[in-house]
């Protein structure tokens, strides 16, 4: 037990040296408009069970599915994780959908949120996302129905599709040949509306857009108010995408470094993280909250005593470092649990799965309002995991007493 503690302390010391010599710069982008909370007073929509689907399947070069997903061809219960080249989803997903692929086509109902990173994304006519769509793609085409859309893309087209509530996007070109049920918050270069025939492009709420040039909006296509803000920065889209990519890359690189350090210096600690998923999660949450509050108070007391100010600074440095690596430790803990459920034992496969897990946790942190809460909880759980790992175990105490007797 003493050796394990020594290794963990050694890891913290190494990371202190790393952070004193490495500084990462990243630009922070701010939205032009505040994100409004989603109201819940919309009429309920029929559940995914009412959809008829025969001979449905999913085509993927390499797919990873959650262990809770049922094996039925036309119905998947629980969250679904997919990765590969060209993916077509033709079955009902009663949960959240996570996809990283080249091309993604959705022809069925998704009961929860959809998190998609791809080159091309098509929500086909039979596609129905009952909650939010979070996506970063080159081209997006919506022919079906989505509740809320959060998108960073080059080209976004609503082709006879329906966004039930709000559209929030940063794009180059927005083409509206369908319907936006509430408000549209757009940062773009151009907006095109279909005004021919009966299939008019229409926004039933307000249109708030930012562009580097004035955009001509046809009459009777926006039921609410049109609020325009001109931007002189022509590289807004590129810089926004670059900042997201830089942030994701830094997050993944940091997680992988922590995982490699633990793998070579403290492999027992790395394996033990899997034991804290489930009932013990509440205990590490409690230890995390206690450490978050108690350690700063202890440092203040030590500083007031003057004689122990150096010790206080050392403890506070370790405290700050623990908070920095806590989210990475939480990601590693979740990844180990997922790998155990999927029977992934090899380090190379675990390494690859860690990248996917990191992307998912990073994406969850981007959800408006909820993302900040999720990030805070992950930090607390990671900090609690570190504290519990350093504390002595009851079993070890009982074993030492038996040896003395």
Q: Do residue 197 and residue 55 come from a single domain?
A: yes
Residue where one domain finishes, among candidates 197, 230, 263? 230
Contacts of 319 (CB under 8 A, 6+ apart): 291, 295, 296, 299
Domain assignment present for residue 34? The answer is no
Q: Do residue 58 and residue 200 come from a single domain?
A: yes
Q: Do residue 150 and residue 259 come from a single domain?
A: no
User: According to the model, what pLDDT value does residue 120 have?
Assistant: 92
User: According to the model, what pLDDT value does residue 36 have?
Assistant: 39
Domain assignment present for residue 169? The answer is yes
Task: Say how many C-beta atoms besides its own lie within 10 A of residue 68's C-beta.
Answer: 12
Q: Do residue 213 and residue 337 come from a single domain?
A: no
Domain assignment present for residue 239? The answer is no
Domain assignment present for residue 402? The answer is no
What domain range is 270 assigned to?
A: 2-27+249-397
Q: Do residue 130 and residue 190 come from a single domain?
A: yes
Q: Do residue 224 and residue 268 come from a single domain?
A: no
User: According to the model, what pLDDT value does residue 279 have?
Assistant: 67
Q: Give the tokens for residue 359.
A: 């992307």
Q: Do residue 130 and residue 74 come from a single domain?
A: yes
Q: Do residue 264 and residue 299 come from a single domain?
A: yes
User: According to the model, what pLDDT value does residue 237 have?
Assistant: 65
Q: Any bridge partners for residue 106, and if so which?
A: 89, 123
* Dist CA 348 CA 212 (whole Å): 46
State the helix-helix crossing angle for 2-21 and 236-265, rounded to 10 degrees. Answer: 150
Number of domains in the chain: 2
Residue with tokens 């993944």: 252
Q: Do residue 308 and residue 197 come from a single domain?
A: no
Domain assignment present for residue 39? The answer is no
Q: Do residue 18 and residue 68 come from a single domain?
A: no
C-alpha to C-alpha distances, 166 to 151, 183, 184, 231, 237, nearest whole angstrom: 11, 5, 6, 22, 20
What number of CA atoms fall less than 13 Å from residue 343's CA on the CB side? 0
Q: How many residues does the chain have?
A: 405
Domain assignment present for residue 197? The answer is yes
Mean pLDDT per 10-residue run, the chain (405 residues)?
A: 51 49 37 37 38 35 39 78 89 91 92 91 93 91 93 90 92 90 89 71 89 79 84 61 86 90 82 73 84 87 77 85 88 86 82 88 85 88 85 53 44
Residue with tokens 């999660």: 281
Domain assignment present for residue 23? The answer is yes
Per-residue burial over 146-174, b = 16 or more CB atoms within 10 Å of its CB, e = otherwise: bbbbbbbbebbbbbebbbbbbbbbbbeeb
Q: Do residue 76 and residue 119 come from a single domain?
A: yes
Q: Give the tokens for residue 230.
A: 């001109």
Q: Do residue 219 and residue 292 come from a single domain?
A: no
User: According to the model, what pLDDT value does residue 8 have?
Assistant: 55
Domain assignment present for residue 309? The answer is yes
């Amino acid at each position: 037990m003493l050796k394990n503690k020594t290794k963990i302390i050694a890891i913290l010391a190494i990371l202190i040296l790393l952070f004193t010599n490495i500084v990462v710069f990243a630009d922070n982008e701010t939205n032009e408009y505040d994100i409004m909370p989603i109201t819940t007073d919309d009429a309920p929509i029929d559940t995914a069970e009412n959809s008829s689907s025969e001979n449905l399947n999913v085509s993927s070069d390499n797919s990873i599915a959650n262990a809770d997903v049922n094996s039925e061809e036309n119905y998947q219960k629980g969250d679904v994780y997919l990765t590969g080249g060209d993916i077509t989803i033709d079955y009902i997903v009663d949960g959240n959908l996570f996809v990283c692929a080249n091309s993604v086509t959705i022809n069925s109902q998704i009961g929860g949120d959809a998190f998609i990173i791809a080159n091309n994304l098509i929500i086909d006519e039979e596609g129905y996302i009952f909650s939010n769509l979070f996506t970063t793609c080159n081209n997006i085409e919506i022919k079906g129905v989505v509740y809320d859309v959060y998108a960073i893309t080059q080209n976004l087209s609503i082709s006879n599709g329906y966004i039930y509530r709000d559209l929030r996007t940063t794009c180059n070109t927005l083409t509206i040949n369908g319907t936006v049920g509430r408000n549209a918050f757009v940062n773009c270069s151009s907006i095109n509306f279909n005004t021919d025939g009966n299939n008019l492009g229409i926004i039933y709420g307000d249109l708030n857009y930012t562009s580097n040039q004035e955009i001509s909006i046809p009459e009777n296509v926006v039921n609410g108010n049109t609020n325009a803000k001109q931007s002189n920065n022509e590289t807004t889209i590129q810089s926004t995408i670059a900042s997201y990519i830089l942030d994701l890359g830094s997050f993944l690189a940091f997680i992988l470094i922590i995982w490699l350090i633990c793998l070579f210096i403290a492999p027992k600690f790395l394996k033990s993280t899997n034991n804290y998923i489930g009932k013990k999660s509440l205990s590490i949450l409690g230890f995390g909250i206690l450490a978050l509050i108690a350690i700063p108070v202890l440092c203040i007391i030590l500083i007031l005593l003057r004689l122990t100010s150096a010790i206080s600074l050392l403890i506070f440095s370790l405290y700050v470092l623990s908070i920095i690596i806590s989210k990475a430790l939480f990601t590693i803990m979740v990844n180990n649990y997922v790998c155990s459920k999927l029977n992934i034992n090899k380090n190379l496969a675990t390494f690859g799965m860690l990248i996917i897990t990191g992307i998912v946790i990073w994406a969850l942190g981007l959800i408006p309002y909820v993302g900040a809460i999720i990030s805070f909880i992950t930090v607390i759980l990671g900090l609690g995991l570190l504290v519990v790992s350093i504390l002595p175990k009851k079993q070890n105490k009982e074993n030492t007493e038996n040896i003395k007797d």
